[in-house]
Amino acid sequence: MGKHLSLRVLVPWQRLVDELTIPGIEPILWHINDDPNNAPTADVLVTERPSNPELRSRVSRIKGLKHVQLLSIEYEWVLEHLPERVSLTNSKGAVDDATAEHCLALVLASVHRLPQIGQQQRERQWTRTWTGSLHGSKVVLLGAGGVGSEIRSRLLPFKPAELTTFARTERVHEQGYPIYSLDRLWAFLPAADVVIVALPHTGETEQLIDAKFLSAMKDGSLLVNVGRGPIVDTDALLPELQSGRLHAALDVTDPEPLPANHALWSAPNCITTPHMAGDTAQFISLVSELAVDQVIAFAHGEELTNRIIN
């Protein structure tokens, strides 16, 4: 890039335009999901994941593109649309707290039967209801990355009787607790009161939560998914919910977005939120700060954090 040229950067929010209006950088407001016009020529794309899957391919048609900075941890959606020799980074570390907080909200709402109590409130029924509790429960946590670690730290103050973490690689966490490999979870699964999924979507985790897995969960237990929708076999989960044997709280689903006529909407014992775990004001501040730092580093040829593709 010549000294007289500016780095052209597509950004989705006016805040990023304002913060990147600095010498050597030309921010251009363009949102992959909302802008009806094709993207102008640009060196860098800072983007959210399009809510409409059909718009994801717009990434492949940006002329001059050299780098993509994602405003999320999730990156799988963009891989097939990323042109050759275009580098990719994500926002690992910025979304972890928000996702963990949402996960805890789903767990507590489910364990304490808040949807049921809410319905009783609407019907003006004063009916005392006995519920479960995290205190004294056995929790299986699938995922030991940034999100999984933050979920674990938030669960501990609620005094679960057991909190066991599993991931693809067996190891000891830097905080000293063991992380078991996924193939060892079968010894823990039948006794678990709560199973939390915070794994990435890979070939290994595709439909990991299948009929066999679900049948191994004990009656009345809770499945929470804040990882990726395809990790759970929806067709296998639905009969378990409809029979009342299991409970679920899902921030991600398969398919996604969930069609209006899908059976999950009306499934009993199920809370579904629209992939919103990271959608907080604090998250916006954190990913914006990270995106600005990444763009400035790219403009100066400095090393970027959270590299997915070099």
Give Cα separations from 37 to 33, 42, 106 (angstroms).
11, 14, 38
- pLDDT tens sequence across 178-188: 999 999 999 99
Give the integer Cα–Cα distance in Å for 183 and 180.
8
134 CB-contact burial (10 Å; exposed 0-12 / middle 13-18 / buried 19+): buried
**Cα end-to-end span (Å), the chain:** 18
- pLDDT tens sequence across 220-234: 999 999 999 999 999
Can you list the domains of the chain with their CATH numbers? 7-94+280-309 (3.40.50.720), 96-272 (3.40.50.720)
Give the integer Cα–Cα distance in Å for 187 and 138.
13
Which amino acid appears at position 39 of this protein? A
DSSP 215: H
What pLDDT does 52 receive?
A: 86
What pLDDT does 74 receive?
A: 85
Question: Which residues are tagged catalytic?
Answer: 228, 256, 275
Instruction: Yes or no: say if 44 and 297 are a contact pair by the CB < 8 Å rule.
Output: no
- Positive or negative CA dihedral for 167, 172, 176, 178? positive
- pLDDT tens sequence across 99-149: 999 999 999 999 999 999 999 999 999 999 999 999 999 999 999 999 999
What pLDDT does 45 receive?
A: 98
